Amino acid sequence: MNTAAEVMEAEALSDAAAESLWTKGLYKFRRDRVGLWAFAVVLLYVGVALGVWLGFWATGWADLAGEKWEPVSSAHWFGTNIIGQDIFDRAIYSTKTSFEIGLVVAVLATALGGILGAIAGFFSGSWLDELILWLMGVLDSIPFLLFVAAIAYTLQGNPYSMHIAMVVTFWITAGRLVRGEVIKLKEMEYVDAAHALGVPEYTIIFRHILPNTSHILLVQATITFVAAIKSEVILSFLGLGVKDGMSWGLMIAESSQEVLAGFFNNFLSASVLLFGLVMAFNLFSDALQDALDPRTVSD
Amino acid sequence: MELFSYSLRKLATGVPLVIGVTLVSFLLMVYFGPDKTFELVGKNPTQEQIDEVRAQLGYDQPMVVRYAGYLREIVTFDFGSSDSTGEPISSILARTVPISLAVALPGFVLGNVLGVLLGLLAAFYRGAWPDKLIMGSAAIGMSISFLIVIIGFQILLSSSSGLNLFPVRGWSMDSFGEYVSYVTVPTLATVFVALGYNTRFYRSVIVEETTRDHVRTARAFGVPSLQLYCKLILKNCLIPIITRIMFSIPFVVISGSLLIESYFGIPGIGKITYDAIITGDQPILKAVVALTAIMLVLVQLLTDIMYRWVDPRVSLK
């Protein structure tokens, strides 16, 4: 805040009646140019994924559209793969797969982490807390790929076994963070007041305390989203991930044969699209974290 | 004596963790896992043959007895033999763990040392262009998938489309030259992937430490920057650094780098584990899970003792 106009803007904002972590966060986020650009790129990907989902484009991802390994042309923007399928369509279609996995895992994992973390934090020191902490330690100690494989076996080829394995392992970080925050929050006066008014304990936890950790949950959800789509690529490559449909991981798995023969279109299109989404989401997540961190907001 | 009783107590608190890890993986992989009977009996089996194989696999016993058998295997360190090759697990481990260490160690050490150095550099020039350059590169490095890094390095360094300096895949430790030629590409890939995360983590730890009052006081007294960073700040950062390094050790040693080893065809513990996942070789998987959990408990103990060593204020209670 150097110029007079910015100072005035900031003062005008601090006079506003509804000043909260969120309005301050939004104000900070709008000034973060990198964060805004990253958000725009994420929105672009969202649009592409929605278009695939609604059937506007990339409907021919499984068709044999041309010859083997056609170069880039107006008919096939990224060329064709080893059996003549259009790489552009496949790469675009995989955006939807990534969002599907990322969103499902991020939402469920943060919800689970929020709920269990809040319960553990509120009853910290009790047997319930010990039990949840033990569960976190146990799930943290099983090598991730083994865990995915084990769940895939147990569910006997269920297409969602990868999602379930990720949710079961990725909630832990959110859970630990929320637990720590709730331990701080439950000592605050409004919680005492709620107790004194006779508000039931679970209402206090979920109506009064948990909403105050939502900035942590939001940031954690974006981090989980990135972790999920990155894991999907590796799991699909190893044959433990996506079974039906198409994903960037499967494209890279396909391409590992082609690459040694000197044909890079498949590998490059999947890698570049994946990199763009992960990079944009990482930068967006960083900007969100900076904007919502109460320590920097109050400056 | 204090150390000894502390260690015993600490190991005792590790027992629930080992039990939890083994119980969860036992339930998932063995109890609810695939039925292996018909892979092991011959063609047109009689009911007696089926029963015999089921008894051999322990399927006729209740769950508690079978889990107790697993715990007995862990305590006696005798995990039986592999389902697919019949080789004893102990000899598989003795053969593969050293290879995994040889593959993973250079990358692990380099990744952490370079991470600390770059973190120091970024923290030292906090806000200036070296900091922005380092952190920007770290953000880019973090966004590239491990898989893409591996394939990318392979194309650039080992294929005829690139420099073609190293073998495409495989493993040999017969001579030092061969070892270097096989280990270079996996090491570069590991370092590349780890560096982004490590640098970010170490920078934030170091920056946190530079804002402390005693650092400001030392600066005011005119302590030279280099001395300030190396003696005051880095020393105080040792606890988070040790924690991060120690806790990744079990996963480096036991699961190895599963992706690296299966991609490059290196016969280490990661490759063995991957093959066991694909073929459903439960004895190997059971051994890997149990050993990871045990190593985690040991590493926790060792980390606590190291805290005491770097920070005498920490008491072992």
Which residues of B fall below an 8 Å CB-CB distance to A? 16-17, 20-21, 24-25, 28-29, 32-34, 139-140, 142-148, 151-152, 154-155, 159-161, 168, 251, 254-255, 258-259, 262, 273-274, 277-278, 280, 285, 288-289, 292-293, 296
Residue A157: both structure tokens together: 């080829």
Q: How many Å lie between the alpha carbon of B305 and the closest alpha carbon of chain A?
A: 20
Chain A residue with Cα closest to B34 = A153
Which A residues 257-286 touch B at CB under 8 Å?
Answer: 259-260, 262, 264, 267, 271, 274-275, 278-279, 282-283, 286
Q: What is the pLDDT of residue B4?
A: 86
| A-chain residues near B254 (CB < 8 A) | 143
Rounded CA gap, B96 and A274, in Å?
A: 34
Q: What is the pLDDT of residue B12?
A: 87
Average pLDDT over residues A76-82: 72
Nearest to A283 among B17, B139, B259 (CB): B139
Interchain CB distance below 8 Å, A150 and B254: no
CA-closest candidate to residue B66, choices B23, B16, B15, B17: B23
Q: How many Å lie between the alpha carbon of B301 and the closest alpha carbon of chain A?
A: 15
Q: What is the pLDDT of residue A298?
A: 39
Q: What is the pLDDT of residue B73?
A: 86
Q: What is the pLDDT of residue A14?
A: 54
Between B171 and A177, the more confident residue is A177
Work out the number of other CB atoms within 10 angstroms of the CB of residue B264: 24
Average pLDDT over residues B305-312: 84
**Count of CB pairs separated by less than 8 Å, A with B:** 118
Average pLDDT over residues B107-119: 93
Which residues lie across from A85 on neighbouring strands? A64
Rounded CA gap, B101 and B104, in Å?
A: 5
Rounded CA gap, A170 and A140, in Å?
A: 9
Chain B residue with Cα closest to A281 = B143
User: How would you write chain B as a 3-class SS string?
Assistant: CHHHHHHHHHHHHHHHHHHHHHHHHHHHHHHCCCCCHHHHCCCCCCHHHHHHHHHHHCCCCCHHHHHHHHHHHHHHCCCCECCCCCCEHHHHHHHHHHHHHHHHHHHHHHHHHHHHHHHHHHHHCCCCHHHHHHHHHHHHHHHCCHHHHHHHHHHHHHCCCCCCCCCCCCCCCCCHHHHHHHHHHHHHHHHHHHHHHHHHHHHHHHHHHHCCHHHHHHHHCCCCHHHHHHHHHHHHCHHHHHHHHHHHHHHHHCCCCHHHHHHHCCCCHHHHHHHHHHHCCHHHHHHHHHHHHHHHHHHHHHHHHHHHHHCCCCCCC
Average pLDDT over residues B42-61: 77
| Region of poorest pLDDT, from A54-63, B118-127, B175-184, B206-215 | A54-63
Nearest to A271 among B148, B255, B274 (CB): B148
Q: Answer whether A34 touches B (CB < 8 Å).
A: no
CA-closest candidate to residue B282, choices B79, B51, B90, B72: B79
Q: For A134-175, how does the pLDDT look when each residue is reduced to its tens digit (9 = 90+)?
A: 999 999 888 888 888 788 777 777 788 889 999 999 999 999
Q: What angle do CA B266, B141, B191 make, to 5 degrees?
A: 35
Enumerate residues 6+ apart whose C-beta is below 8 A from A181: A121, A212, A213, A216
Average pLDDT over residues A164-189: 92
Which candidate in A138, A285, A299 is best for mutational testing of the B interface (most B CBs within 10 A)? A138
Q: For A27-59, how does the pLDDT look when each residue is reduced to its tens digit (9 = 90+)?
A: 888 888 888 999 999 999 999 889 888 888 777
Q: What is the pLDDT of residue A115?
A: 95
Q: Please, which pLDDT band fits residue A8 given cuts at 50, 70 and 90? A: low
Average pLDDT over residues B195-201: 92
Q: Which amino acid is at B181?
A: S
Residue A294 reports pLDDT greater than 50? yes
Q: Please, which pLDDT band fits residue A86 given cuts at 50, 70 and 90? A: confident
Q: Please, which pLDDT band fits residue B317 given cuts at 50, 70 and 90? A: low
Say how many residues make up chain B. Answer: 317
Between B228 and A177, the more confident residue is A177
Rounded CA gap, B129 and B126, in Å?
A: 8
Rounded CA gap, B33 and B63, in Å?
A: 13
Average pLDDT over residues A255-281: 85
Rounded CA gap, A251 and A233, in Å?
A: 9
Chain B residue with Cα closest to A149 = B277
Interchain CB distance below 8 Å, A139 and B251: no
Residue B203 reports pLDDT greater than 70? yes
Chain B residue with Cα closest to A165 = B28
Average pLDDT over residues A251-280: 85
Q: What angle do CA A194, A195, A200 make, to 5 degrees?
A: 90
Q: For A95-104, how does the pLDDT look when each residue is reduced to its tens digit (9 = 90+)?
A: 999 999 999 9
Q: Answer whether A237 touches B (CB < 8 Å).
A: yes
Residue A114 reports pLDDT greater than 90? yes
Q: How many Å lie between the alpha carbon of A191 and the closest alpha carbon of chain B?
A: 31
Q: Answer whether A138 touches B (CB < 8 Å).
A: yes
Q: What is the pLDDT of residue B255?
A: 65
Average pLDDT score, chain B: 85
Interchain CB distance below 8 Å, B155 and A264: yes
Q: What is the pLDDT of residue A18?
A: 60
Interchain CB distance below 8 Å, B147 and A252: yes
| Region of poorest pLDDT, from A200-209, A251-260, B85-94, B211-220 | A251-260
Interchain CB distance below 8 Å, B147 and A233: yes
CA neighbours closer than 13 Å in the CB half-sphere of residue A260: 9
Interchain CB distance below 8 Å, A252 and B151: yes
Rounded CA gap, B165 and A189, in Å?
A: 67
Q: What percent of chain B clears pLDDT 90, i.e. is strictly above it?
A: 12
Chain B residue with Cα closest to A153 = B33
Residue B306 reports pLDDT greater than 50? yes
Among left, alpha and beta (phi > 0; psi -120 to 50; other), residue B80 is: left
Q: What is the ipTM of this complex?
A: 0.83
Q: What is the pLDDT of residue A45?
A: 92
CA-closest candidate to residue B147, choices A22, A244, A239, A147: A239
Residue B38 reports pLDDT greater than 80? no
Residue A247 reports pLDDT greater than 80? yes
Q: Which amino acid is at A21?
A: L
Rounded CA gap, A91 and A269, in Å?
A: 7
Q: Dihedral angle at the C-alpha atoms of A11, A13, A14, A20, nearest 10 degrees?
A: -160
Q: How many Å lie between the alpha carbon of A265 and the closest alpha carbon of chain B?
A: 13
Chain B residue with Cα closest to A230 = B145
Q: What is the pLDDT of residue A297?
A: 41
| B-chain residues near A274 (CB < 8 A) | 145, 148
| Region of poorest pLDDT, from A29-43, B90-104, B150-164 | B150-164
Chain A residue with Cα closest to B254 = A143
**Predicted structure pTM score:** 0.86
Rounded CA gap, A78 and A68, in Å?
A: 13
Residue B263: both structure tokens together: 């991609």
Nearest to B20 among A134, A230, A286 (CB): A134
Please tell me which of A76-85, B165-174, B286-295 the model is most confident about, judged by mean pLDDT. B286-295
